[in-house]
């Protein structure tokens, strides 16, 4: 399976008044053509930071210190802004966390769709409106001809999210990055939105990177799951392998805190402690070690990468690991 997106050894810092934040540290991740990969972890783990860095959307205070990111043969980190702007929306699209913030509040929904179509397709100007309405209809938005003239504030959160999906899929990109696509929506709407995204990506043969803190959602939607903690990728495996045989203590804790398949709330366990302050100059080699019951003196040494087929884990105490280990 050839990689569509491949991130290798990416490190990123933010310069702030309170110090330098080590937001990403030696992050590697790949998404193959047609594959759905889940990127999971607590809020603040660096999931969105990673997606923004890949697309050249990082804050001005961000600085990439090392690593590479390739998308379909293009070096994203070395690409000019014009080149990145050309592929965003056409080759790779993103669904942002808050659609009412991401959408232009003073521009009609239909016109925003037309902007994308005019920029990235050969649609004739006279056909833009009809195609924009067709995009809304394809996302199962009721009365699309009327919604075409609506402003974002006139739509519900669920409808705004469908508009965001319409914008993201309008040009049939090769890769869709969905960043917490159901944040703030009720459970019923969440299920409908995820069902729609899954159906459209499969129908069009797209790859997807699903960013979420909801491990249950990732299990339902993804072929493979990558676990992130405090700017580190700590484990990566096919979805059912990860759930049946998690090897990193953090992954085990995440699964223990996930309500899916639990008979009662008493079966849930909270993850102790919190994410470390990434401004610290004395961050441990393993950023989970201060919360980990398996902590030992070995955790102060650089993290090893253990590989068992397509199951990868970075931990000195990886459980049940009959694998090749490299420092």
Structure tokens at 238: 């096919």
Half-sphere CA count of 235, side-chain side, radius 13 A: 28
Confidence of residue 262 (pLDDT cuts 50, 70, 90): low
pLDDT by residue (tens digit) across 150-189?
Answer: 999 999 989 999 999 999 999 999 999 999 998 878 888 8
pLDDT by residue (tens digit) across 114-147?
Answer: 999 999 998 899 999 999 999 999 999 999 999 9
CATH 3.40.50.300 fits 3-96+173-276, yes or no: yes
In this structure, how many other beta carbons lie within 10 angstroms of the beta carbon of residue 186? 11
The reported pTM is 0.92
Domain boundaries, the chain: 3-96+173-276
How far apart (Å, rounded) are the C-alpha atoms in residues 50 and 44? 11
List all residues 6 or more positions away from 127 whose beta carbon is below 8 Å from its beta carbon: none
């Amino acid at each position: 399976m050839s990689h569509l997106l491949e991130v290798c050894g990416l490190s990123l810092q933010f310069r702030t008044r309170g110090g330098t934040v080590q937001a990403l540290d030696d992050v590697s991740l790949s998404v193959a053509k047609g594959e759905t990969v889940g990127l999971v972890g607590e809020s603040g783990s660096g999931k969105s930071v990673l997606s923004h860095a890949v697309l050249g959307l990082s804050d001005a205070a961000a600085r990439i210190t090392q690593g590479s990111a390739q998308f379909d043969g293009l070096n994203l980190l070395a690409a000019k802004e014009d080149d990145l702007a050309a592929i965003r929306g056409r080759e790779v699209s993103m669904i942002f966390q808050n659609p009412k913030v991401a959408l232009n509040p003073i521009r009609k929904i239909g016109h925003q769709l037309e902007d994308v179509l005019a920029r990235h397709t050969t649609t004739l100007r006279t056909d833009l409106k009809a195609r924009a309405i067709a995009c809304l209809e394809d996302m199962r938005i009721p009365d699309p001809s009327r919604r075409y003239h609506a402003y974002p504030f006139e739509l519900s959160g669920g409808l705004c999210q469908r508009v965001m999906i319409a914008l993201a899929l309008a040009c049939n990109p090769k890769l869709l990055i969905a960043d917490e696509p159901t944040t703030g929506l009720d459970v019923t709407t969440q299920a409908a939105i995820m069902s729609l995204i899954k159906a459209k990506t499969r129908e069009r043969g797209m790859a997807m990177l699903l960013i979420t803190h909801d491990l249950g959602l990732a299990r339902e939607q993804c072929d493979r799951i990558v676990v992130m903690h405090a700017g580190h990728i700590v484990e990566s495996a096919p979805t059912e392998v990860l759930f049946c045989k998690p090897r990193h203590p953090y992954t085990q804790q995440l699964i223990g805190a996930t309500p899916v398949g639990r008979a009662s709330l008493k079966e849930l366990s909270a993850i102790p402690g919190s994410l470390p302050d990434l401004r610290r100059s004395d961050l441990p080699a393993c950023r989970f070690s201060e919360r980990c019951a398996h902590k030992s003196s070995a955790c102060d040494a650089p993290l090893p990468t253990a590989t068992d087929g397509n199951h990868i884990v970075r931990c000195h105490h990886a459980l049940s690991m009959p694998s090749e280990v490299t420092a």
